[in-house]
């Protein structure tokens, strides 16, 4: 086990925040991970670093999950169950599936991060969530150091939610995920307005999974900043789900407010719209800012500290609460 000390995490978080790990090690397989857990009680688990905001140094052993490998778990005529290890880059895995003509996750193209963290917040985009194709995952229990398989029904998936963020928070480290994908008769999902428009622009009427992926890539590139160019963590906030009474009340004052019906009693409101209307879109405060093309994304223009970005996020939350009476919660983990 190679342990480095006073290790910069700047290249290990997509916000590009400078913070130090007291100790740092990278594990390549489950056995190495279990060995680390046997020797160290207090660790910090690092995946792709795409959903966290570092506001301080980490005075622990940071364990980078770098377990690679993609394999066929099982298959029949119609479906394939593909197992991807936790350290695989998510987007490269999506492209691998498309190259093999395995359908289901193409709408989730170009999402930053690694495979192992996708179930934790049930990543989603353009009408699809990871839970739709998730079959199972393997995870190591941090204290018992045993391996457990979680089936879909064990995971309590919800909008950007799962058991791994709630009841079992910090108790398991996901080492691999199995996805059930189609081999034939792909059920492409182009219902999202922006995808429809992108396909129409390219005169595509019966899209392949590759066409959908290309459309999603084009849309994301036009709206969302590339973390390699401008530090960010995707959507910083979750879209708030509010009671229908509050929605109706707010609508009287803001009749143009967009919404999606979630249930008979609740609607989801796009936080990006609320933030834009509150005047924050494109604003910059030192090196911390709100992206000019998508107000839900906070960005680091270079040397912002995590605290500076958190301050901007709190000011946004307060302004939205004051203006609309709606609370918006961070989607990103603030460390």
Would you say 287 and 263 are in contact if contact means Cβ atoms under 8 Å apart? no
The sign of the CA dihedral 311, 316, 320, 323 is: positive
Residue placing its CB nearer to ligand EPU in the complex, 154 or 161: 161
- The one among 7, 75, 270, 287 contacting ligand EPU by CB under 6 A: 270
DSSP result, 166-181:
TTTTTTEEEEEEEEEE
* Torsion region of 129: left, alpha or beta (phi above 0 gives left; psi -120 to 50 gives alpha): beta
Would you say 106 and 86 are in contact if contact means Cβ atoms under 8 Å apart? no
Identify the CA nearest to 225 among candidates 14, 10, 9.
14
Residue nearest to ligand EPU (CB): 234
By CB neighbour count within 10 A (0-12 exposed, 13-18 middle, 19+ buried), where does 117 fall?
Answer: buried
The CA distance from 114 to 241, in Å, is: 27
**273 binding ligand EPU? (CB under 6 A):** yes
Number of amino acids touching ligand EPU (CB under 6 A) = 17
Tell me if residue 66 falls in helix, strand or coil.
coil
**158 binding ligand EPU? (CB under 6 A):** no
- The one among 272, 289, 306, 312 contacting ligand EPU by CB under 6 A: 272
**Closest distance between ligand EPU and the C-beta of residue 295, in Å?**
3
Residues in the chain: 335
**Closest distance between ligand EPU and the C-beta of residue 276, in Å?**
4
Indicate if 222 belongs to the active site.
no
Indicate if 50 belongs to the active site.
no
Would you say 224 and 296 are in contact if contact means Cβ atoms under 8 Å apart? no
Among 50, 160, 162, 198, the one annotated catalytic: 160
**81 binding ligand EPU? (CB under 6 A):** no
**212 binding ligand EPU? (CB under 6 A):** no
Indicate if 160 belongs to the active site.
yes
The CA distance from 165 to 225, in Å, is: 26
Among 106, 138, 198, 331, the one annotated catalytic: 331
Residue placing its CB nearer to ligand EPU in the complex, 126 or 247: 126
The residues with which 333 forms a beta bridge, in sequence order, are 52
**161 binding ligand EPU? (CB under 6 A):** no
The CA distance from 78 to 327, in Å, is: 44
Tell me if residue 184 falls in helix, strand or coil.
coil
**234 binding ligand EPU? (CB under 6 A):** yes
Q: What angle do CA 172, 161, 155 make, to 5 degrees?
A: 50
Residue placing its CB nearer to ligand EPU in the complex, 227 or 306: 227
**258 binding ligand EPU? (CB under 6 A):** yes
Q: What is the dihedral of CA 68, 123, 182, 220, to 10 degrees?
A: -100
**125 binding ligand EPU? (CB under 6 A):** yes
Residue placing its CB nearer to ligand EPU in the complex, 63 or 124: 124
**281 binding ligand EPU? (CB under 6 A):** yes
**131 binding ligand EPU? (CB under 6 A):** no
**282 binding ligand EPU? (CB under 6 A):** no
- The one among 27, 133, 295, 298 contacting ligand EPU by CB under 6 A: 295
Site residues (CB under 6 A) for ligand EPU?
Answer: 125-126, 224, 234-235, 238-239, 258, 270, 272-273, 276, 281, 294-296, 331
Catalytic positions are: 160, 235, 331
């Amino acid at each position: 086990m190679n342990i480095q000390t006073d290790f910069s995490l700047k290249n290990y978080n997509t916000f590009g925040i400078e913070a130090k790990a007291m100790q740092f090690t990278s594990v390549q397989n489950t056995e190495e991970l279990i060995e680390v857990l046997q020797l160290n009680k207090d660790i910090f688990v690092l995946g792709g670093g795409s959903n966290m905001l570092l506001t301080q140094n980490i005075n622990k052993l940071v364990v980078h999950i770098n377990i690679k490998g993609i394999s066929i778990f099982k298959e029949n005529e119609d479906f394939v169950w593909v197992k991807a290890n936790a350290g695989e880059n998510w987007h490269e895995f999506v492209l691998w599936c498309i190259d093999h003509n395995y359908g289901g996750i193409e709408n989730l193209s170009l999402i930053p991060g690694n495979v192992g963290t996708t179930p934790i917040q049930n990543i989603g985009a353009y009408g699809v969530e990871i839970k739709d194709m998730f079959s199972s995952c393997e995870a190591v229990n941090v204290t018992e150091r045993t391996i457990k398989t979680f089936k879909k029904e064990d995971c309590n998936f919800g909008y950007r939610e799962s058991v791994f963020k709630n009841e079992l928070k910090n108790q398991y480290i996901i080492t691999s995920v199995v996805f059930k994908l189609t081999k034939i008769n792909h059920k492409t999902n182009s219902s999202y307005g922006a995808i429809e428009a992108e396909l129409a622009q390219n005169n595509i009427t019966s899209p392949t999974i590759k066409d959908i992926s290309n459309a999603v890539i084009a849309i994301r590139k036009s709206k969302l900043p590339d973390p390699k160019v401008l530090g960010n963590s995707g959507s910083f906030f979750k879209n708030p789900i509010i009671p229908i009474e509050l929605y109706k009340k707010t609508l009287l004052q803001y009749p143009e407010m967009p919404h999606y019906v979630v249930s008979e009693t609740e609607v989801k409101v796009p936080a990006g719209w609320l933030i834009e209307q509150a005047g924050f879109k494109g604003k910059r405060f030192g090196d911390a800012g709100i992206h000019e093309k998508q107000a839900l994304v906070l960005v680091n223009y270079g040397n912002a500290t995590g605290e500076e970005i958190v301050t901007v996020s709190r000011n946004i939350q307060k302004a939205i609460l004051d203006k609309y009476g709606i609370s918006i919660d961070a989607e990103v983990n603030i460390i």
